[in-house]
Amino acid sequence: MSPYDRSPAPSRSRMTAPALRSTLNLAWPILVAQLTLMLMPIMDTMMVGHYHTTDLAAVALGNSIYITVFLTLSGILQSLSPHFAHHHGAGTPVLIRQDFQQGIWLAIALGLIGMALLSFPQPLIAWAGADAAVTEKAIAYLRAIAFGVPAVMLYKVASSLLGATGHQRMLIWVSLTGVVLNIPLNYILIHGHLGLPELGATGCGIATALASTVNVLVSFRYFARHGDYARLNLFGQWQRPQWRVQAALLRLGSPIAFSLMVEISAFTLIALFVARLGPEVIGGHRIAAQMAGLCYMLPLAMGTATAILVGQACGAGDYARARHQAWVGALLAGTLASVVGLIIYLARSPIIHAFSDDAAVVAVGVQLMVFIAVYQFFDGVQTIGTFALRGYKVTLAPMWIHVVCFWLIGLGGGYWVAFHEVVWLGVRLGPSGAAGFWAASVVSTVAAAVLLSALLHRVSQLKLQEHPTQSPSTPPRPPASPQ
């Protein structure tokens, strides 16, 4: 299928089954690609862990800073996905080329900002309070991986276009290429083979930067050679930065970036707060947090797919299909997430034992896994709500919902319950430690799910009123202006 070919929207009475198939067909390659990319930091940890404990600590510390910077900056580029989806649905290839080229300029600028931040990380490293040896190696690791940040930003542009135009399976091959290249590069650079010096943690940073660069080159080669994208002439008639387009991308992307920062910082600050509770609590929380991150890959893939499909429907002027697609995505993600939650609950003890043999760590981890199991359904619903609204190009209101829910209720409420005595319905509850943070996270996720679902209902209703559903023979409306 050409990136700018459109098929007629299905009739209302027959929309559910196609909507389910479309979501699943789009989501599973995205999920596999995301899980594959997760192998890179996992392999970094495993390989450097067998080299030296100090280097392992340096990579763990440095990677937490790198991920925070990368996700925040790449959040701005997530504005490209709904733009591409709208243009794809409207059948306007010229606008796809325009936004692709403008996205390249924006990615380069963001990449240079990220590169500068990671090249001079001393304030962030000092705040962590690590010892001198770990600090020195973490700084070297960040300076090495910094050179790959522009490539990572450029790949975000490429992956947004691939997903929004129906070539999401290519994401799997690109991510596999990066992982396959990363493993031997790690081995060579960490241990010093082929005449190269032993670089330890620094070698991990260099390997990741090189693998990221190759991912971009593979994607761009695909754009240049594949017939669909060759017809778009993505690299031809090159434009200078168009400030009107850049402003539209920033208006849509900045709230997304801030929302990501809110979610990331909430979990980061929880890890810092529970550090005072002892190594057993830290260990149990760390295992639970890793499992929570792994579980999130499913609603994230479903959300990405839903945003693309909603954006395509909006671009085609079919707001009835957009609304239906959003609610099908929420139902599907909530159902699958509930199944994952049930599995987590039933297997919580074996899962924690796989990570640690320490009885105290296991006790903490098993307790926290219950909270992860409980909030899976609501996390799936709130994630779909967030991404579906991005498909409508609505990002500012969801940002404020995230601030209230995850910072005020989740982090603020969690801190109070964790370290203070609470009286509720006449019952006096003592400080609950790490469990208090996770209990507040459940409450914040439920609140986010309710508020975002209500907002999605309101936005989709307004769009239906403003744009009555067009018949398949009606010419598509031009893409809506960003909100």
DSSP 80-140: HHHHHHHHHHHT-HHHHHHHHHHHHHHHHHHHHHHHHHHHS-HHHHHHHT--HHHHHHHHH
Report the pLDDT value the prediction gives residue 204, as an integer from 0 to 100.
87
Instruction: Return the pLDDT at 115.
Output: 93
Judge if 209 and 132 occupy the same domain: yes
The model's pLDDT over 274-320, given as tens digits with 9 standing for 90+, comes to 766 766 776 777 678 778 888 888 898 898 889 888 988 888 888 88
Count CA within 13 A, CB hemisphere, residue 232. Answer: 31
Identify the pLDDT of residue 468: 67
Q: Tell me the CA end-to-end span of the chain in Å, nearest whole number.
A: 30
If asked whether residues 121 and 233 sit together in one domain, one would say: yes
The answer to the question of residue 246 being in a domain is no
Higher pLDDT, 432 or 144: 144
Instruction: Identify the pLDDT of residue 56.
Output: 74
Residues 354 and 474 in one domain: yes
Are 322 and 199 in a shared domain?
Answer: no
Q: What is the pLDDT of residue 14?
A: 53
Closest CA to 164 of 385, 4, 37, 9: 4
Q: How far apart are CA 469 and CA 170, in angstroms?
A: 33
Do the Cβ atoms of 398 and 452 come closer than 8 Å?
A: yes
Structure-block tokens of residue 130 = 């690590």
Q: Answer left, alpha or beta for residue 474, where phi above 0 means left and psi between -120 and 50 means alpha.
A: beta
pLDDT tens, position by position, 88-122? 888 888 888 999 999 999 999 999 999 999 998 88
Across 12-21, 50-59, 96-105, 248-257, least confident range: 12-21
Considering the domain architecture, whether residues 237 and 258 belong to the same structural domain is answered as no
Whether 265 and 235 share a structural domain: no
Give me the percent of the chain exceeding a pLDDT of 70.
87
Q: How far is CA 182 from CA 39, 207, 212, 370, in A?
A: 10, 6, 9, 35
CB-based contacts of 287: which residues, under 8 Å, 6+ apart?
Answer: 352, 355, 356, 361, 365
- The C-alpha atoms of residue 333 and residue 31 are separated, in whole angstroms, by 13
Q: Tell me how crowded residue 265 is: count the other CB atoms within 10 A of its CB.
A: 15
Both tokens assigned to 79: 């504005």
Residue 443, pLDDT above cutoff 80: yes
- Whole-model pTM: value is 0.78
Residue 328 CA to residue 449 CA, distance in Å, equals: 15
Write the CA distances from 460 to 8, 18, 156, 234, 327, integer angstroms.
20, 19, 28, 32, 10
Average pLDDT on 31-35 reads 79
Helix (H) or strand (E) holding 423: strand 422-424
Say what the pLDDT of residue 90 is: 82
Residue 461 structural domain: 254-483
The answer to which of 14-18, 35-39, 290-294, 396-400 has the lowest mean pLDDT is: 14-18
128: in domain: yes
Residue that the structure tokens 């799997």 belong to: 172
CB 340 within 8 A of CB 302: no
Q: Is 7 a domain residue? A: no
Which region among 183-192, 275-284, 390-399, 430-439 has the lowest average model confidence (pLDDT)? 275-284
Task: Based on the fold, state whether residues 460 and 423 are members of the same structural domain.
Answer: yes
Domain shared by 196 and 234, yes or no: yes
Domain match, 225 and 278 both? no
Structure-block tokens of residue 280: 């057993």
Residue 420: strand, helix, or coil: coil
Q: Are residues 31 and 180 in the same domain?
A: yes
Helix residue ranges per DSSP H, 146-278? 149-164, 169-191, 201-225, 227-232, 243-274
Computed from CA positions of residues 395, 401, 404, 407, in that sequence, does the dihedral angle turn out positive or negative?
negative
Tokens representing residue 398 in the block: 């969801």
| Residue 377 located in a structural domain | yes
Confidence of residue 430 (pLDDT cuts 50, 70, 90): low
The better pLDDT of the pair 91, 380 is held by: 380
Identify the pLDDT of residue 469: 54
Note whether residue 437 is domain-resident. yes
**Total number of domains in the chain:** 2
Whether residues 195 and 273 fall in one domain: no
Residue 429's H or E segment, with its range, is strand 427-429
Q: What is the pLDDT of residue 129?
A: 60
**Distance of alpha carbon 268 from the chain centroid:** 15
If asked whether residues 236 and 260 sit together in one domain, one would say: no
249 within domain boundaries: no
Cβ atoms 20, 35 nearer than 8 A: no
Residue 5 lies in a domain: no
How many beta carbons lie within 10 A of that of residue 471, not counting itself? 8
Q: In the prediction, which pLDDT does 5 show?
A: 44
Domain boundary among 189, 211, 241: 241
Q: What is the pLDDT of residue 87?
A: 86
pLDDT tens per residue, range 325-367: 899 989 999 999 999 999 999 988 888 887 777 788 788 888 8
